Amino acid sequence: MSDVVLRLSGLEKVYNRGLESEVAVLKGADLALAKGEVVALVAPSGAGKSTLLHMAGLLDTPDAGEVEIGGAVMSGLGDRRRTIARRRDVGFVYQFHHLLPEFTALENIVLPQLAAGVARRAAEARAMELLDEVGIAPRAAHRPSAMSGGEQQRVAFCRALANAPRLLLADEPTGNLDPATSDQVFKALTGLVRGTGLAALIATHNLDLAARMDRTVRLEDGRVVAGA
């Protein structure tokens, strides 16, 4: 069985197609991520990092090319099947945590599991296990407003991994944090990834953090190239 979790083949994406303001963002992007691999994606703002992540995470569809997750080709799937695949196979983390403010840290991690059909007791046990792994189990009963930025982002990581996806996609996950907190959060994130064996693609402007990942890739003129 192949260890490739994510394979992007020849992805193309054009915005405002046919208009004077047409912009080709992806021009045949190729990328493969293996199980247990943490890969940094770096590029200037506007180069297409978020677009690539949205394609990989089935939030958007390419104009051409293929997305495969776990060996399954995602093109041609209807909206319902894409949604099921996304919920089952992909976890997302963004620059801002997007936690539900009226729920506790524990509840924010339990909710996506309940939506996937997990029994509440098992979902709570899974949530506590994840919170413990990132070192904030004592904050389980706190709402986001009572937590620091770094704690909130660690809860967001736990929520993204609650349903044991194959693939984690993160868009500037430490971009809103100071350097010391960013380092703590990055260690928590990579610890979770290493512990679960999933594949992770992390878009970042932080070259120091990128250098600590397994490898770095860059977006140049709509294509993915090996990093320096």
What is the model's pLDDT at position 206? 81
> What's the longest Cα–Cα distance across the chain?
56
- Homologous superfamily assigned to 4-226: P-loop containing nucleotide triphosphate hydrolases (3.40.50.300)
Helix (H, G, I), strand (E, B) or coil at 130: helix
Q: Is the pLDDT of residue 228 over 60?
A: no
The one-letter amino acid code at 34 reads A
Least confident of 20-29, 32-41, 59-68, 185-194: 185-194
Q: Is the pLDDT of residue 96 over 80?
A: no
For the record, the structure tokens of 199 come out as: 């594949």
H-type alpha helices, 31-138: 49-56, 79-89, 105-115, 120-133
Q: How many angstroms separate the CA atoms of 6 and 30, rounded?
A: 10
Query: Are the C-beta atoms of residues 35 and 199 closer than 8 Å to each other?
Result: yes
pTM of the predicted model, to two decimals? 0.87
Distances, alpha carbon 132 to alpha carbons 126, 129, 228, in Å:
10, 5, 35
Q: Is the pLDDT of residue 11 over 90?
A: yes
CA torsion angle 105 110 115 121 (round to 10):
-160
- From the number of C-beta atoms within 10 Å of its C-beta (0-12, 13-18, 19+), residue 20 rates as exposed
In the block, tokens 């991690």 appear at 109
Neighbour count for residue 39 (Cβ, 10 Å): 21
Residues 51-66: pLDDT tens digits?
899 999 988 888 899 9
CA quadruple 81, 85, 87, 91: dihedral positive or negative?
A: negative
For the record, the structure tokens of 86 come out as: 């996304």
Higher pLDDT, 154 or 1: 154
Confidence tier at 143 by pLDDT (50, 70, 90): very high
Residues 183-210: pLDDT tens digits?
877 887 787 777 777 899 999 888 888 8
Residues present in the chain in total: 228
In the block, tokens 């120091």 appear at 208
Integer Rg of the chain from CA: 18
Confidence tier at 1 by pLDDT (50, 70, 90): very low
Confidence tier at 226 by pLDDT (50, 70, 90): confident
Q: Could you state, in order of their start, the residue ranges of all structural domains in the chain?
A: 4-226
